[in-house]
Structure 1
Amino acid sequence: MMELKAARTELNAKPKTISVEKIEKELEKDGQKIFYFDRENSHKDLMEMVEHFEEKGYSVYFREIRYGLDENDYLYEVHILA
């Protein structure tokens, strides 16, 4: 199954990966969750993840968040609700 890169917690750190299965387990436990993904993810992979959860009946809100002036200062926020 698909693996995505979670947003890094430090600028020079390497992003950690998270699987769609792990996301599903967290949603089963909590019912909803906000995930932050690194800019190194391809937009296509993120859209596939959004479609995956929408097909399972979840509401998914996806947006790009800019946190600085540099064009590389952004990450993706995905809010998934049951």
Structure 2
Amino acid sequence: MELKLARNTINAKPRPIQLDKIEEILLKDGQKIFYFDKENTHKDLVALVEYFEAKDFSVYLREVKYGLDEGDYMYEVHIL
């Protein structure tokens, strides 16, 4: 599964990341907070949460608003 990391600037394109890479980072660091772009579907993020919960990680997903517009948000996923 491929997800898109949050943009660093408004006009930038989101960078893709593979599920394998996320798992590799977690095995190395133990825990991590990832910020995903709004272009990801909620269904994909729920699948990400379920995948890591099945591997005995604790996963917290929330929507972070950074502006007043409805489209100014990203997803924060904290995996422990």
Structure 2 distance, partners of 1:60, 1:49, is 9
Q: Per-residue deviation at 1:70?
A: 0.5
Q: Per-residue deviation at 1:30?
A: 0.4
Q: Which amino acid aligns with 1:46?
A: L
> Are 1:64 and 2:70 matched, yes or no?
no
Alignment of 1:10-29 (within 5 A): 10-29=9-28
Tell me, what secondary structure is at the counterpart of 1:26?
A: helix
Structure 2 distance, partners of 1:40, 1:22, is 19
Structure 2 distance, partners of 1:46, 1:79, is 12
Structure-1-length-normalised TM-score: 0.96
Structure 1 distance, partners of 2:19, 2:57, is 14
Let me know the Cα RMSD of the aligned residues: 0.4
Tell me, what secondary structure is at the counterpart of 2:40?
A: coil
Q: Which amino acid aligns with 2:45?
A: L
Corresponding residue of 1:53: 52
Structure 2 distance, partners of 1:8, 1:66, is 14
Structure 2 distance, partners of 1:14, 1:27, is 24
Identity among equivalent pairs (%): 68
Corresponding residue of 2:79: 80
Q: Per-residue deviation at 1:76?
A: 0.2
Q: Structure 2: which 5+ residue stretches go unaligned?
A: none
Q: Per-residue deviation at 1:19?
A: 0.7
